[in-house]
Amino acid sequence: MKKGLALTFLIAILVFGAFLRLGHLNDESLWLDEGITYYNSTALDYAGVWDKTAELDQSPPGYYFIMHTYLNVFGENEFGFRLIPLIFGVLSILFLYLLMAEMFDRESGLISAFLLAANPFHIGFSTESRMYVLLGLFALMGFYFLYKALKSDGAGWIYWLLFILSCIFGLYTHNFFAFVLLAFVFIFLLLIWDSNRRLVKFFLGIGSVALVVACYLPWLPNFLKQMEVERYWMAPNAVSNLKEYFLDFSNGNSYILIGFLVLAAIGVIWAMFRNSIFASLSLVLFLIIGIGAPLTYSLSFEPIMKIRYMVFLVPFWLGLVALGLNAVRKLSLVVQTAIIVLVIYTWVPWQASAFPIEYGEDYRGLVEVVLENPAPVVVHSPSITHVINFYNRGRFDLLPFPFSDDLNEYNIDENDKSKFRDLTRGLESFYLVITHSHENPHGLLYVWSDEYCDSSVGIDVQGMEVHYFDGCK
């Protein structure tokens, strides 16, 4: 395919991908973790963002630095708050094309870009104001610049520099980039056998990784501290979970998953016969290490895997599928058209995505309810206040109880009743909000009942239990 025609198709795919993501940008209210993004990003300065992240979060501060800059320049609004990850999602489509076109051909690049543009899993996480899609983008950028550096005729200094920057930013974006970096090390050792000036590039590669690690050292003490926090929301992992992950990547459709597995196998074999052995093996190796390393850690030490952390694998998975589609499409135009139509029909990407799966708590609707009849709001942890404050803008009081995010404090006992009464003393009316973001927020209704108020009314707000108490003593 000629370069000009490929560029035209690429622009159309990028516009298509942006359209699918924009269509559902604000369908759902911000959820708990996006509230944490808001809280961390609204520090007074970058040092404050660093400190807040180290204290509250279990991720590095890179994404919060970006959001801090955006909020300071453009102000706070829901559309813009989610526009930033959408841009990262569209850029991921671009870099997947660049990578696949560089390693194989433009047709494979365009097919893989189209698959990523229409993938509901990626669409969903491109509209969540968290760092997961940015993690995937830096993984793509690092892979692309590493490949360019190893394939360059000379030393490839500019590509090594861009590779280093991608890895540094990746490590400061999400802790799972450590597994991406580990995969890059193995891919480097594989691809160096297919490059010229091996000795020079070997030392450049070693030096690049050493520099990346050195730049991460300032955050390392905070990372070690974060690792000591109990991950109460992480379910145990097992090898059997792998199928569930790839089912999610395939929009939960087992037929698509089977078809993708077949196409990926065809793609690898086809690429090998086209003298692209090292390139196709590097994709396979990235997937194996990318999901195998965190799974091994989860099975050996403690659970750390969760589906949103695996977003960075989706582009490379679809890249293998694209190779198979590129091979199959050469059989006939009928086969090519049928496959594309089937993929679009089954995915229905223009419908609201099921991802992120945590969506469902309507904090936007809660604030609208309270503003119609203002009264203080009691919520069952400090972290819930962050996302409510995004919509609240200080128009009513928020009272977290218990005063800690420690789940052990969620079972209210007799000794805690007095603390709760002290918190609400002097309030003639208030709202009690129990969301589903924590596993065990019991006890609050037990502490406060009609015994202390003249009336209580349950209010219907999606994803949460809301009670309005009035005439309180």
Q: For 115-134, write each residue's pLDDT tens digit.
A: 999 999 999 999 999 999 99
| Confidence at 407, pLDDT banded by 50, 70, 90 | very low
Domain membership of residue 356 (yes or no) is: no
In this structure, the answer to whether residues 368 and 267 fall within a common structural domain is no
In this structure, the answer to whether residues 391 and 313 fall within a common structural domain is no
Domain membership of residue 280 (yes or no) is: yes
* Amino acid making up residue 312: F
Average pLDDT on 321-342 reads 79
Interatomic CA distance for residues 401 and 317, integer angstroms: 44
Examine the pLDDT at 443 and tell me if it is beyond 50.
no
Strands 464-472 and 453-461, by their bridges, are antiparallel
What range defines the domain where residue 146 resides?
A: 3-347
Q: Which two tokens stand for residue 123?
A: 């669409």
| Confidence at 406, pLDDT banded by 50, 70, 90 | low
In this structure, the answer to whether residues 368 and 311 fall within a common structural domain is no
CA angle 392, 31, 363 (to 5 degrees): 40
pLDDT above 70: percentage of residues in the chain: 88
Average pLDDT on 392-410 reads 72
Interatomic CA distance for residues 271 and 414, integer angstroms: 68
Q: Enter the DSSP assignment of 353.
A: P
In this structure, the answer to whether residues 197 and 53 fall within a common structural domain is yes
Q: What residues contact 411, with CB distance under 8 A and at least 6 apart?
A: 440, 442, 443
Burial of 462 (0-12, 13-18, 19+ CB in 10 A): middle
Select from 296, 315, 347 the last residue of a domain: 347
Quick check: 147 and 103 in contact, CB under 8 A?
Answer: yes
Domain membership of residue 354 (yes or no) is: no
Domain membership of residue 355 (yes or no) is: no
The model's pTM: 0.92
Neighbouring CB atoms inside 10 A of 371's CB total 12
- According to the model, what pLDDT value does residue 310 have? 92
In this structure, the answer to whether residues 369 and 341 fall within a common structural domain is no
- According to the model, what pLDDT value does residue 91 have? 98
Select from 285, 319, 347 the last residue of a domain: 347
Nearest Cα neighbor of 417 from 455, 441, 452, 444 is 444
> Which letter, b or e, does each residue of 250-266 get, where b requires 16 or more Cβ atoms within 10 Å of its Cβ?
bbeeeebbebbeebbeb
Biggest alpha carbon–alpha carbon distance for the chain? 82
Query: What's the mean pLDDT when you consider all of the chain?
Result: 87
Interatomic CA distance for residues 9 and 110, integer angstroms: 7
Q: What is the pLDDT of residues 162-172, one digit of tens each?
A: 999 999 999 99
Q: What is the pLDDT of residues 353-387, one digit of tens each?
A: 777 877 778 999 999 999 999 999 988 777 788 89
Counted domains in the chain: 2
Average pLDDT on 247-260 reads 86
In this structure, the answer to whether residues 295 and 375 fall within a common structural domain is no
In this structure, the answer to whether residues 313 and 373 fall within a common structural domain is no
Q: What is the pLDDT of residues 151-188, one digit of tens each?
A: 998 888 999 999 999 999 999 999 999 999 999 999 99
In this structure, the answer to whether residues 328 and 371 fall within a common structural domain is no
Quick check: 140 and 92 in contact, CB under 8 A?
Answer: yes
Quick check: 282 and 189 in contact, CB under 8 A?
Answer: no
In this structure, the answer to whether residues 342 and 367 fall within a common structural domain is no
In this structure, the answer to whether residues 101 and 207 fall within a common structural domain is yes
Domain membership of residue 460 (yes or no) is: yes
Domain membership of residue 358 (yes or no) is: no
Domain membership of residue 394 (yes or no) is: yes
Nearest Cα neighbor of 319 from 354, 271, 274 is 271
In this structure, the answer to whether residues 340 and 386 fall within a common structural domain is no
Q: What residues contact 194, with CB distance under 8 A and at least 6 apart?
A: 150, 278
Domain membership of residue 425 (yes or no) is: yes
In this structure, the answer to whether residues 190 and 312 fall within a common structural domain is yes
Examine the pLDDT at 351 and tell me if it is beyond 90.
no
Average pLDDT on 433-447 reads 58
- According to the model, what pLDDT value does residue 372 have? 94
Interatomic CA distance for residues 28 and 38, integer angstroms: 16
Average pLDDT on 400-421 reads 63
Select from 347, 377, 406 the last residue of a domain: 347
Quick check: 254 and 247 in contact, CB under 8 A?
Answer: yes
Interatomic CA distance for residues 451 and 446, integer angstroms: 11
